[in-house]
Structure 1
């Protein structure tokens, strides 16, 4: 079921974005009097189509893209027969370079607008809920990766790159991991009880380790008191009678005030039965789990943090500004991420994901509409950025050649355009094959 939900979200999200992207090309082309022969969501074989006027609208069986076929344009179909005749007034090639450029940028522009609208709507609807750094009063839990760079459990991170931070999540922001020469300023209590400040450098290639599958979730988190949230049916916690709202204060008599202490105590008892001491209605009572802790050190409940959270609601004007900043932040992060790859700070195999990786890591196996739209907005901006790259066969490649034509006054030959399209298709197919193979390899190994 989880696989079906992940696949369903990916297909729906991509279908919306691809449909809007190609619609941007179609509307721009028709606005300038160009003939649009086909508008398809998905690649052949064809599942369904209908013809309205001069255009065939349809759905393809492979839901990982789409296309618009404009008369007189050398595109991914590589249909060059029509290019051998004299240009017709309604063809792409007969229009001024400026109009052709707008047509090529139409899909990118629509994806940018879509991404901004999604982020603005989510910000206006939900506001923002976050853990303020001042409310992470117990400091951090430092897992293995954090310990490798010199952090310790109990440290309080007060600055990032010399700047005080309001939101605890900024500790794990793209500015930290995609930037260069980043560092934390922490407060640490010494053996004598005195608090000292010191800087902890973050290696430039640290994101390479962080993106490794085996290190997922193993960096830092706030030290947090907790209570039992949703209890999973059929798991040891539910069978033992653990209830939502219970506060676990000990495991086999060992006090566990904080969630990381509870996790460590339970993982030490993998495949064994344990007895919890819980506070229910302020009354301590034992709960014995007669089913063993599973191999992952889990007993089957979600933890609710008792740390105070800060919530902010935004007016529409504020949401418009903040949502736009978030949308373009995706593009900025993509640029910084590619910079990391080109500098060799992170390997492409860990940083790049194809459709399988996107479905697993972003959408997840539970359908939550807010998360679906957030990921769709993120993908819309990422799709706009990727399409803007000056690679032949992408919108950015076509636009680069059109800009050359506008500046130089010389139009590249049809033979050159055809060759560039072929090279671009090979590059894109190679990248897609790499991404899919990489997803499978990471999922298996």
Structure 2
């Protein structure tokens, strides 16, 4: 059932984005009197699951869910319809229209993608508001759970001050900026220290995650919450799920990092401890193995709801009226566009190693949760819409950005590239796109098989 829910969200989001993107081309084309021959969700290689002709346009659903398309008369596109291009230009064809109209038609898809993303963020702000932990409330600093962050210079107990010169206000809201940052200022033992982030930090972080270390760059310090005990654990029956270890061998253990460090010092011993159970403090005797293990699993992260329920940190809330949600949503959308632009820049810089984390359809599929959540669905859809818009603007022939590049050349120089040149450019762009798709999905397959 979980896989069905994930797949449903994936297909619904993908279908929505494709249809609206193609409508972004379709609507201005029709407004300018350009004939649209086909409008398809997914690709209809050899055959279609459904098709129906209405007016001059065949609407349909293909069987290959790798995207979608509109076929505009008189335009060199992925259909490579050379026969039509050899005929005299007709007034209803794309090639007969003024350059400025063709430019608007080509920009229509990405324009809709960005508008959709901003509208979704406005809706999310209005419907769900915001929940966050103020950075100023992290009194005892951060928790470093992986070697990559440790090697970069972070230490457990550091307090975030600024990222690339910008003060940190929301703790979790700063994680993406932290991942893409160049310089981070922290407070350590009452003194400010600057951490220069390694160029290949993302590559190092991915390697630490593959080694089974913490999945976050840094995290808030949380109590040691027991999830369960192993069958052969000497502490089975002594410790229970949801116990919180608050004292160990007479020493207060407010945070999980303190418990982990202390356990390493108590190898092979049985010591007194205190756990919080059902809001009561219960004394117990805990046995630590010679390997420094208690035979328990613990929660490495709790989520905002549990953090709030346990009273570990105060979770702040912001509710927005419809009017207030507009600037808030626009800000969120702008921040996402800027952030994704930075991510692309890092991906195309081999020194960062970020290209190793590029994923294809499986990576997108894995973004969706196993339980249905409209908030998560819309947040992921908004991100994917921005990704689709930005990627389509890349100046690669066969993408909208490639067509825009040639149209701008025509408008500036007054010379239109020949149809033969456009055919060759379209073919070159197709092979570039094919290589990128194979690379991204190849990364998915490699990670699934070997990581």
TM-score by length of 1: 0.84
Equivalent pairs counted in the alignment come to 427
Secondary structure of residue in 1 paired with 2:53: strand
1:198 equivalent to 2:204? Answer: no
For structure 2, which runs of at least 5 residues remain unmatched after alignment?
Answer: 287-292
After TM superposition, give the deviation of residue 90 of structure 1 in Å.
1.2
- Give 1:154's match in structure 2, choosing from 152, 157, 163: 157
1:384 aligns with: 389
- 8 A Cα contact 1:128 1:311, kept in partner: yes
1:298 aligns with: 297
Change (3 A) 1:81 1:204: same
1:275-294 superposed matches below 5 A? 277-282=275-280, 284=282
Secondary structure of residue in 1 paired with 2:126: helix
Instruction: List per-residue Cα deviations over 1:70-124 (Å, max 9, x = no partner).
Output: 1111110111111111111211111111111111111111111100001111011
Instruction: List per-residue Cα deviations over 1:233-275 (Å, max 9, x = no partner).
Output: x99999999577x644358998643244567789999xxxx99
1:432 equivalent to 2:437? Answer: yes
- 8 A Cα contact 1:242 1:287, kept in partner: no
Change (3 A) 1:240 1:28: farther
- 8 A Cα contact 1:155 1:187, kept in partner: yes
1:217 aligns with: 215
- Give 1:78's match in structure 2, choosing from 54, 64, 80: 80
2:289 aligns with: none
1:105-144 superposed matches below 5 A? 105-143=107-145, 144=147
- 8 A Cα contact 1:17 1:111, kept in partner: yes
The whole-number CA distance in structure 1 between the counterparts of 2:71 and 2:205 is 42
- Give 2:404's match in structure 1, choosing from 399, 415, 420: 399
For structure 1, which runs of at least 5 residues remain unmatched after alignment?
Answer: 190-194, 289-293
1:346 equivalent to 2:352? Answer: yes
Secondary structure of residue in 1 paired with 2:43: strand
1:2-401 superposed matches below 5 A? 2-44=2-44, 45-143=47-145, 144-169=147-172, 171-174=174-177, 176-180=178-182, 182-184=183-185, 186-189=186-189, 195-212=190-207, 213-214=209-210, 217-225=215-223, 247-249=244-246, 256-261=253-258, 277-282=275-280, 284=282, 298=297, 303=302, 304-305=306-307, 306-360=312-366, 362-401=367-406
1:192 aligns with: none
Change (3 A) 1:109 1:162: closer
Instruction: List per-residue Cα deviations over 1:142-192 (Å, max 9, x = no partner).
Output: 222222123222222223334432211355232x33243x122x3323xxx
- 8 A Cα contact 1:135 1:307, kept in partner: yes
Please tell me the root mean square deviation across aligned C-alpha atoms, in Å.
Answer: 3.5
- 8 A Cα contact 1:267 1:298, kept in partner: no
The whole-number CA distance in structure 2 between the counterparts of 1:76 and 1:422 is 8
After TM superposition, give the deviation of residue 135 of structure 1 in Å.
0.8
- 8 A Cα contact 1:225 1:307, kept in partner: no
- 8 A Cα contact 2:74 2:85, kept in partner: yes
Secondary structure of residue in 2 paired with 1:284: strand
The whole-number CA distance in structure 2 between the counterparts of 1:320 and 1:267 is 52
Bigger mean CA offset, 128-137 vs 365-374: 365-374
Change (3 A) 1:134 1:57: same
- 8 A Cα contact 1:46 1:59, kept in partner: yes
- 8 A Cα contact 1:247 1:280, kept in partner: no
TM-score by length of 2: 0.83
Change (3 A) 1:32 1:276: farther
Instruction: List per-residue Cα deviations over 1:362-391 (Å, max 9, x = no partner).
Output: 224333221111010011011111101111
